[in-house]
Structure 1
Amino acid sequence: MTSRSTAQDLDRDDPLAHWRDEFVLPDPDLIYLDGNSLGRTPKRTVEAIRHVIEQEWADDLITSWWENGWLDMPLTVGDTLAPLLGARPGEVAVHDSTTVCLFQLVNVAIDLSGGSVVAVEATEFPTDRYVIEGISRIRPGISVRHGLDDLTGVDVVVRSHVDYRTAAVALLAEETARAAAAGAITVWDLSHAAGVVELDLDGAGVQLAAGCTYKFLNGGPGSPAFTYVRSSIVETVEQPIWGWFGQRDQFAMDNPFDARDGVGRMLNGTPGILGLTGARCGIELSAEAGIGAIATKARALADFGIDLADEFGLECSTARPPVSSGGHISIIHPDATALQERLAERKIIVDKRDPDVLRFGLSPLTTRFVDVFEGVSALAGMLDA
């Protein structure tokens, strides 16, 4: 059987191990395996937000919109994020919730396609399904089709790159091309992929994508999501939520709406500067560590966790990488709710998805191999007791 010393050896040889020191870890005994839902707190975020509050807001006040770059933060943070997505400068904006970003992009895709049929899996993440269903209520003639196997007659496809239950990875380039061959535009949800999977949106031919920053990018609770619009189509995009930050000259108050150039046209209301500050810090940290190294460790953590599940006789629904992302492994048990609570009593935090899924999050910058060993072995011990 794999032992704790095996995990310790893997941690000793881990080239990313020192990045854990970049995070606030107030309880050394806590085993946190839920970074795929909410990433840990970077130390630099605490300092950066303190500076924004005490200096830029308290002292510089309104001048911070110009003097401290607040006006352009959704776009400058977007340019920092772009390389982690395989995107170009000027193609990413960090600005609102994932729900709002998806609402904008699905509407954009419908308009670009000139069609009326939107396809989504019945098991897709709830927000994605809710957004589509909501749009079908307010746009006459829009219909929703469940299932992606047959795209005949489909105009827009909405799907996650990484499945939130199993961590299975959809083939980005192949599936984008398959939809395009059927005459459909794909809107990709990258929420469970950004910051843990090596992405090449440009090379994959992706046109539209959105995702959150509070999971593997460690942006903080409710940190703003991002929108990606391919540069070759951005000037043809007309998004549905008009606000003064999306206006070409936002201080020409009496002018009719005129969308600004580039991905900035996706902006709407005044951005939350504290949330953007947290997002920027988490994104910068991941960029410094390197998405290649992060993705490599994620796959290794997943393989290790699956090995343990196999050895302990646990039912794991996550396939090995590269079929899965490495961002988490899912263990199936009918008493998942009670088991999650018992693990929490032992200071082992995992996620749960009804009715029977325990998700062990594997956030590479903060998760150690020994954490995975302790979490999986503790679960196995509870089942054997």
Structure 2
Amino acid sequence: MTDRTDDDVAMITRADAEACDATDPLAHWRDEFVIPDDHLAYLDGNSLGRTPKRAVDALRHVVEQQWAGDLIASWWEHGWLDLPLRAGDTLAPLIGALPGEIAVHDSTTVCLFQLVNVAIDLHRTRDGDVGRPIVVAVEATEFPTDRYVIDGISVLRSPGDVPVVVVRHGLDDLQGVDVVVRSLVDYRTARLAAIVEETRRANDAGAITVWDLSHAAGVVAVDLEGAGVELAAGCTYKFLNGGPGAPAFTYVRRSVQDDVVQPIWGWFAQRDQFAMDRAFDPRDGVGRMLNGTPGILGLTAAVAGISLAADVGIDAIAGKAARLSDFALDVAGELGLTCSTLRTPASSGGHVSIHHDDATELQRRLASERVIVDKRDPDVLRFGLSPLTTRFVDVHRGLTTLADLIA
């Protein structure tokens, strides 16, 4: 299989893509990553980001020098105890948070479980009517983990005095809703929610919103502080290139931190964690969201990926994401591919969704042509556009290869 370069076939040619790469101000950041096969069109960085070279170096140093050399003393001598909070401070500028508002720890599922419970209890405190059911709203098309977490909380809490009722009638009408859980970027279509307007609309209806930033962090210019967001969570293994299973993050706005009672009490959230015989007394700040002993190796890799994105700057990253997205939509349109992703700013620029009834087989055949994309049932091929590692030529080759396979 060869790339299309015939102007009679496609108005946008590979030469056009090469010209975009030649003038791309972020092109040199690709050299910061381990890329053993330069021909591979890796268009799945929205599922798992590539490997930063600084992550490899950092892990080697922690394993060989700190873990092997200083052993348990590393908790104090190398700052392992506070690594979740220092990682959070590194992440903060990328999502418009302040220092001391983010902890990087556990999985996205755990973080969402904590925050939905926090939101429920915060609402009960503010509402004053502690006897009525709490209504949690989530879209029926929301990412599975978000829906599962809410359903699980409903089962756990409903036998008590204050049941939790889950509604999936859509988020257009928030009358009677107490807690809203939603993604900033839709994982299927890449549609971008209006975080300022939607947070305000929920607040006006008396609801607290828990935002899932998993498909937004590291690719969308988010301003949590400016949007008035109180609670948010997200992962670090996609556009932040934190590695497979990298720890997720929890955001709690400073103004509500003292009111937070999170549901998983562990010794890293204890005010004096080495006073072993004391009753649980949560530490001040976002540190009260921590649970058990953090995974230092996973955190080390995550910090490397986060710091790389911070060095580039989120505005520059988001700008290239938009350019990649618009380029992909131009090429897809000329090739007659069916696409549900809208142009920026309506969509994030993080991925472009192409629809075809034979998506499963096409994904397999694309892989055989050294084009890696993601698939979502029943018919979506997601072309990921991770800005620091994706070239315009990768996008062009991926889409034209798909068109050739369909023809």
Does the pair score TM above 0.5?
yes
Task: Place the TM-score, normalised by the shorter chain, in its bin.
Answer: over 0.9
Which residue of 2 is the match for residue 132 of structure 1? 150
2:89 equivalent to 1:67: no
2:102 equivalent to 1:102: no
2:195 equivalent to 1:195: no
Cα deviation, 1:30-84, whole Å, max 9, x if unaligned, reads 1100000000000110010011110100010000000000000000000000010
2:177 equivalent to 1:162: no
- Using the size of structure 1 for normalisation, the TM-score is 0.99
Runs of 4+ in 1 over 6 A off after TM superposition: none
2:200 equivalent to 1:177: yes
**Aligned partners of 2:76, 2:352: CA distance in 1, in Å?**
45
Cα deviation, residue 221, structure 1: 0.3
Which residue of 1 is the match for residue 329 of structure 2? 306
Aligned length: 384
2:233 equivalent to 1:210: yes
Which residue of 1 is the match for residue 174 of structure 2? 151
Q: Bigger CA drift: 91-100 or 114-123?
A: 114-123
Amino acid at match of 2:140: A
Which residue of 1 is the match for residue 128 of structure 2? none
Cα deviation, residue 383, structure 1: 1.1
Cα deviation, 1:238-277, whole Å, max 9, x if unaligned, reads 0000000000000000000000000000000000000000
Cα deviation, residue 27, structure 1: 1.2
SS in 2 for 1:38: coil
Cα deviation, residue 144, structure 1: 0.1
SS in 1 for 2:73: helix
Which residue of 2 is the match for residue 24 of structure 1? 34
2:273 equivalent to 1:250: yes
2:18 equivalent to 1:2: no
Cα deviation, residue 29, structure 1: 1.8
1:1-385 matches, within 5 Å, as: 1-114=11-124, 116-140=134-158, 141-146=163-168, 147-384=170-407
Amino acid at match of 2:122: L
**Aligned partners of 1:328, 1:121: CA distance in 2, in Å?**
21
Amino acid at match of 1:6: D
The gaps in structure 1 that reach 5 residues or longer are none
**Aligned partners of 1:217, 1:269: CA distance in 2, in Å?**
24
Amino acid at match of 1:139: R
Amino acid at match of 1:282: G
**Aligned partners of 1:136, 1:27: CA distance in 2, in Å?**
47
Amino acid at match of 1:214: Y
Cα deviation, 1:202-250, whole Å, max 9, x if unaligned, reads 0000000000000000000000000000000001100000000000000
**Aligned partners of 2:57, 2:101: CA distance in 1, in Å?**
29
**Aligned partners of 1:30, 1:383: CA distance in 2, in Å?**
20
